[in-house]
Structure 1
Amino acid sequence: MSTLNTMKTNCQISCVFALLLAAQLTIAAEPLMLGEHGTQRELFVDDHLIASMTGGAKQHLNQPEPREVVLTTDAPWEGNTSAYYTIFRDGDLFRMYYRASHWDTEA
């Protein structure tokens, strides 16, 4: 067998092994554990973390309430829109990161 064929075979074997390992890690994944005494906040978009609901509890989607404008992406380096905003609390501060971009309205 030539060196090139040996390298190709080794690469294929490595790829198959990596895929099998990734599949096993996915299958063996444990469900997320909630914080002690319910102190960790969770976003319940489905019933994956909910064992049961009693006492008339139900899931529903809240509607956003329009308020004042918090950020306008109008500086030259920002473009005219944003792909996402991320806001989190850091001690007594609230920090916000965003990815600005430009949307071509002429196209």
Structure 2
Amino acid sequence: MKMYRDVSFVFTLLFAAQLSTAAEPLTLGPDGTRRELFVDGHLIANMSGGAKQHLHRPEAKEVVLTTDAPWEGNTSAYYSVFRDGEKFRMYYRGSH
């Protein structure tokens, strides 16, 4: 019974934390805009006054990552890029 109470308490805390973050306002950049990779109903509640969503075209740039080390194997997948303070970090998985 104690374990059930502890698990219920943890789920209640997680649910409350999610509710508190859902009401945070959208933070814009210094020029009043913000680009997102994917925007859905989580960021936009409604659009009016002729507002619409559109995709930006990709821009061809230099090669970002070459997986040619022996430990990376001949297949590399599951790329994950995230911000850690002022740095951007990337994890990926290589296999043979």
Q: What letter corresponds to residue 14 of structure 1 in structure 2?
A: D
Q: Could you list the runs of 5+ residues in structure 1 that have no partner in the other structure?
A: 1-8
Higher RCO (C-alpha under 8 Å, 6+ residues apart): 2
Percent of aligned pairs with the same residue? 36
**TM-score w.r.t. structure 1 length?**
0.53
Equivalent in 24, 28, 35 of residue 31 of structure 1: 24
Matched ranges for 1:44-63 at <5 A: 45-50=39-44, 52=47, 54=49, 56-63=50-57
CA distance in 2, matches of 1:63, 1:82: 23
Q: 1:58 to 1:28 in 2, by over 3 A?
A: same
Matched ranges for 1:1-107 at <5 A: 9-29=1-21, 30-35=23-28, 37-38=30-31, 41-43=34-36, 45-50=39-44, 52=47, 54=49, 56-65=50-59, 69-80=63-74, 81-84=76-79, 86=81, 97-102=90-95, 104=96
Q: Could you list the runs of 5+ residues in structure 2 that have no partner in the other structure?
A: none
CA distance in 2, matches of 1:47, 1:38: 23
**TM-score w.r.t. structure 2 length?**
0.57
Q: CA-atom RMSD, angstroms?
A: 3.7
* Higher Cα radius of gyration: 1
